Amino acid sequence: MGLTAESTLLVASLGRATNAALIEAARLVDGRIPAVEVRLDALLEAPDLPALREAFRGRTLLATLRSRDEGGRFGGTEAAAAALLGAALDAGFDLVDVELARAGEGLFGFPGERVVVSAHDVAGLPDDLEERSARMLGTCARYVKVVAMTRGLDDALRALRLQASGERGRFAAFGMGEAGLVTRVLSPYLGAALSFGAALPGEATAPGQLLAADLLDVYAVGRPRRVDGLFALLGSRVSHSFSPAIHNAVFESLSSGALYVPVALESLREELPRLREALAGLGVPLRGASVTIPFKEEASALAGGPAGSVANTLLFGTDGAVTGANTDRDALLGAIPRAPESGAALVLGAGGLARAAVEALRDRGWSVDVAARSPERAAALAAACGVRAISNPAASGLPYGVIVNATPLGLDASDPLPCDAALLSSGVLAVDAPYRPGGTAFSHEAIRRGARLVDGFTLLLSQAVGQSALFTGRQADAATLAARLPARIRSLFEVNP
């Protein structure tokens, strides 16, 4: 039958400094999201509770006064907290968040059916997490919410097991931070009563909080979709990725029972077996994965690939077999033309994607130079692929016809260019692997100087074509994949220099 997150109440969390700003935001919050949490602790003025209730008319409205001890800004007394939350109930708020540590099992005397009793640990998962959860479930609160900072995969798996063992329809347990992303996605499928997401882009109220609209559109939280298996994005940094949006759009269009989730790891070799075992035990076996920085060489080794090879895709058979593939190389081959006579190309970086770029360029007949922040790694890659490593591309004197940015530089807005800007001259084909909404510094400079650009989102879609075929057995093209994305997500990747 599979698991579903249809019964989870999706809550858009909103924290702004003034009543006017909160009331303005009421018009901007996605109308499909049934509930809104107003973080009263974020206000820098006294809350106008009746006006806030009126602004969010038609939605379930939750008042939260998160204390400093639990990651918020409220530093008042227990009596002050009780008075303000009580006033919110009197003003017509449907629910109030009551911290167990402040109110105890008495919940300030509020009617239980209007209370979310909560505990947030910003230091990490406490040793008594399970006992604390049982104590909270013993109160009369309508909902029980347990949240902690997750410091790694084992913390995330512990939170998921706790959710699976909790009271369905009443209990919600998940983690904060990068490692907690997978819990925010999967807890609803394991029976979480509540799921919290940022009400608006760029306005997360907790570390690792996803956009509420993405929980709805990408992960089907609060929608009738059944899941019987998983695919995952495995890497050390996965929160920025739009791969879940692409692959989940494909899975849903095919009425597949698969869900694609982000999973942050510290070691692929050590943690992947534990991840697979845990997910199988939770009823959602891991069928395959996309692999990103820094695990592509490790992924190839796990799949039995030759030394030095890379894989960005893993498939897991029911018999325990692991097979690997590299769709990055195919995507790059599709972007790079055949070399003219004496054509020179430059690859920036020395990781798995850089190796795929070197191999693609070499296959297209280009003479390839490699430059990286680590000269040793650049030399090792060059030696393995039979190309040249250089330390200063700007001093090479070569008119590079293709420049591939295969570094992570560009994922953050503050990242510098990965090469001298003068190399990006008119007519150069600039291939930019990193991607971020609005484009990277490399993309902006390439456009400004008249270079021809293949941006990171285009590459992402191109490599996803191959992965999608491996995951589903169905062939699609990049335009089809892009068309299946929510328009809100497609619009993010218009490069604006």
Q: Which residue has the higher pLDDT, 18 or 482?
A: 18
Q: What is the largest CA-CA distance in the chain?
A: 82
Q: Across residues 122-141, what is the average pLDDT?
A: 96
What CATH number did the domain enclosing 279 receive?
3.40.50.10860
Do 10 and 123 lie in one domain? The reply is yes
Which residues, including other chains, have CB under 8 Å from residue 178's CB and lie 6 or more apart?
208, 237, 238, 239, 264
Do 303 and 409 lie in one domain? The reply is no
Examine residue 386 and state whether it is found in any structural domain, yes or no: yes
Residue 496 has pLDDT above 70, yes or no: no
Other C-beta atoms closer than 10 Å to the C-beta of 341 total 5
CA triplet 437, 438, 444: central angle to 5 degrees?
A: 135
CA 387 vs CA 240, 326, 338, 390: distances in Å: 32, 20, 17, 10
Q: How confident is the model at residue 57 (pLDDT cuts 50, 70, 90)?
A: very high
What sign for the dihedral angle of Cα 96, 100, 106, 108? negative
Do 440 and 310 lie in one domain? The reply is no
Do 470 and 441 lie in one domain? The reply is no
pTM assigned to the model: 0.91
Residue 495 has pLDDT above 70, yes or no: no
Do 344 and 375 lie in one domain? The reply is yes
CA 171 vs CA 68, 90, 198, 223, 468: distances in Å: 23, 25, 20, 19, 35
> Based on the structure, what is the number of domains in the chain?
3
DSSP state of 74: B
Do 288 and 353 lie in one domain? The reply is no
Structure confidence by residue, pLDDT tens digits, 355-400: 999 999 999 999 999 999 999 999 999 999 999 999 999 988 889 9
Do 219 and 259 lie in one domain? The reply is no
Q: Out of 39, 184, 247, 296, pick the active-site residue.
A: 296
Q: Strand 258-264: give its sheet, edge to edge.
A: 258-264, 229-235, 286-291, 313-316, 322-325
Per-residue tokens: 324: 């690997």
Structure confidence by residue, pLDDT tens digits, 93-118: 999 999 999 999 999 999 999 999 99
Residue 425 has pLDDT above 80, yes or no: yes
3-state secondary structure of 410: coil
Do 398 and 471 lie in one domain? The reply is no
Which range is least confidently modeled, 168-182, 262-276, 407-421?
407-421
Q: Across residues 290-317, what is the average pLDDT?
A: 91
Annotated catalytic residue 145: no
What CATH number did the domain enclosing 418 receive?
3.40.50.720
Examine residue 232 and state whether it is found in any structural domain, yes or no: no
What CATH number did the domain enclosing 21 receive?
3.20.20.70
Containing structural domain, residue 49 = 3-225
Mean pLDDT of the chain: 94
Do 344 and 296 lie in one domain? The reply is no
Which residues, including other chains, have CB under 8 Å from residue 66's CB and lie 6 or more apart?
39, 41, 72, 73, 74, 97, 99, 120
